A and B are shown apart, each in its own frame.
Chain A
């Protein structure tokens, strides 16, 4: 079980997406998942070993690291990727449910199980709202936990058992900051794509609805 599993799941989602949805899948695969695996994971690999405090007191480094990094950036990033990809599964489940229904009753109930109308439209809209919600929640979490998206070179720590205020140095702060900004930029891009898809779907189906009603009136 690894990121390949998520990739296979998302490939399944791609089949039932709109054009904007497919761009979203491509952005998530290439600019978030691939960058995470090929580059970001290695930067944070030895973060605990390379975190150094100017003191020999045993336990001080451990306590300070835990205080400044309650959840590591890279773990939050991984959680964000998983949570943001999961609402798309709602659409896959709904389409599977429709296909099952057709098989069960042995007749064609829908024009095509993947066509976005009725209940499937609601599922699409809910999944888009959930995706956008998760993105915003994680961005706010990052901002609140780490006081912005900057990674300082030096942090001052005075928690027991450190005897006084001690200087602690974080490894590769500039590189971490560059990749955090990259994460924020791609997150914002995904939020914009999700909102565009939401507006597009609402607009398209309102027009369809209106035209149907207008045609009925004329008849």
Chain B
């Protein structure tokens, strides 16, 4: 059980996402989760052991470490990634619910149902419209909120994104103001800035996707209002082609990710 399990859960959502959504998912897995697992965890691995204070007073180091790092960077990122990935589950659940309804219709032998067999229902890709549009848009909104909240929490807790080399500590039982030294401060600063940059890119992607969905929604509404008879077939064919291309691109990216993580 590891991040690979999250990848399996979210992989199913990929099929029903927009192109920007697929790019977001790829950025999330390659530039955030993989970097966290492969690199960042090693950098923060020996955190407290190598946090050294200029005193022999037992307990001073523990207390100072706890004072300056109420929650470690690496744990905060892990929580951020979990919370940011979770809204996509709402979409997965909604799609599963729709599939379940279609399967029920098919089993009842409903004549409205246009599928030949259950496999076709399982493989079908739903368009983002109607109630699925609302679920999808809410999931992007929640993602944005979680990203912003965590970035702010980071900035607030650590007074910016730099990791200082030296911290002065005077918490009891330290006898007076004591110098404490953080291990690998430059490497930690580099990774912190990297993760913040990728977080910002993800926020931009989410905002772009939100704008795209809203634009599409209003355009569709105005088309319906202006032209009651529109031709869905032509739109469908173009969109299906684009979606197939996007799926091929994202599948090949994800195969690379699976290769790395296994």
Contact = CB atoms under 8 A, between A and B. Distances in A.
Contacts, number: 101
Highest count of chain B CB atoms <10 Å: which of A35, A46, A172:
A172
A9 to B, nearest CB: 11
Given A30-B82, A172-B66, A174-B66, A4 B1 contact: yes
Interface string A147-165: 0000001100000000000
Contacts of B173: 54, 154, 167, 169
Highest count of chain A CB atoms <10 Å: which of B58, B70, B97:
B58
Interface stretch (A37-45, A63-71, A136-144): A37-45
A50 B48 contact: yes
Given A30-B82, A52-B59, A38 B2 contact: yes
B25 to A, nearest CB: 16
Q: How large is the interface on B (under 10, 10 to 19, 20 to 34, 35 or more residues)?
A: 20 to 34
A53 B48 contact: no
Highest count of chain B CB atoms <10 Å: which of A4, A39, A154:
A39
B62 A50 contact: yes
B227 interface: no
A173 B78 contact: no
Contacts of B93: 22-23, 26
B34 interface: no
Contact of B70 (A167, A171, A174): A174
Interface string A1-32: 01110110000000000010011001001110
A175 interface: yes
Given A30-B9, A39-B74, 19 more contacts: A7-B5, A22-B93, A29-B5, A31-B86, A39-B79, A50-B62, A54-B57, A54-B59, A153-B62, A153-B66, A167-B58, A167-B173, A170-B62, A171-B48, A171-B65, A172-B65, A172-B69, A174-B71, A179-B75
26 contacts: A2-B1, A3-B1, A4-B5, A7-B1, A19-B97, A22-B96, A26-B93, A30-B6, A30-B82, A30-B89, A35-B82, A39-B78, A42-B74, A50-B48, A52-B59, A53-B59, A55-B58, A153-B62, A153-B63, A167-B58, A169-B59, A169-B62, A172-B48, A175-B66, A175-B70, A178-B71
